[in-house]
Structure 1
């Protein structure tokens, strides 16, 4: 019995198969940089719109009202009389005025609403208060864990 070595058929286009992954990688890098550029532009617009009295949320979740701004820092009032100075880049977003949205949502009518009578308190039976023997029942127990016998 004799074995013959037969050359494998070439798939052809060897150069193009190496070029397709390279094009995909370059495309992904371009798309990610484009997204980051848009985020930077949006952040710059947010920082440019800061004015005293604007309510903002920082990137760390701190909510406050802008008291003053300078080149690098923003002074926020986070509570009555409590001022905090943060970097402008830490401003995450501006909170729209609640007064403006509330004014749009409220419809004015000429009718005067009648006062609602006070409701009698409702007695809810077996609400965990006094039991028949005068003791308060414990809440439900959790199932035992693997360490308990």
Structure 2
């Protein structure tokens, strides 16, 4: 028996198979940077549109009303008479103003208008052995059911 050493056959698309993962990685990076660019542009538009009286939320979660807008800073009133300066980049989003039309369009829920009155917790008295006195013991409250809000 004679063994012949033959070279292994190569697949025809060697260059394409190496290039395909590289193309996919570059495409993913491009799409991610594109979405980040859109977010930065939206943030810049939000900051540019700030004017006194606008209600905003900062990136740290602070809610306030814009009092003054400078080149670099925004002064927010976070409580009655309490003014705080933030860097413009710290403004996260603008809270839309609620109009009377939006409140009037909401359906009226009569059940929500009724006040649910829960019975007061009852207390039991227990005789303390050997002392002849009574001790007040709280009765446990039942767990809430699915019908309670």
Could you state the TM-score of these two structures normalised by the residue count of structure 1? 0.72
Q: 2:104 aligns with which of 92, 103, 106?
A: 106
| Shift in Å, 1:13 | 1.4
Alpha-carbon distance, 1:39 to partner: 0.6
Q: CA deviation at 1:7?
A: 2.3
Shift of 1:27: 0.7
TM-score, structure 2 normalization: 0.72
Structure 1 equivalent of residue 71 of structure 2: 71
Q: Distance in 2 between matches of 1:2 and 1:129?
A: 101
- How large is the Cα RMSD of the aligned pairs? 2.8
Q: Tell me how far apart the structure 1 counterparts of residues 49 and 82 of structure 2 sit (CA, whole Å).
A: 23
1:47 aligned residue: 47
**Rounded Cα–Cα distance in structure 2 between residues aligned with 1:123 and 1:34:** 55
More strand by share: 2
Structure 1 residues 88 and 123 mapped into 2: Cα distance closer, same or farther (>3 Å)?
closer
Match of 1:135 among 134, 137, 142: 137
Size of the aligned set, in residue pairs, is 126
Aligned partners of 1:30 and 1:58: how far apart in 2? 29
1:112 is matched with none
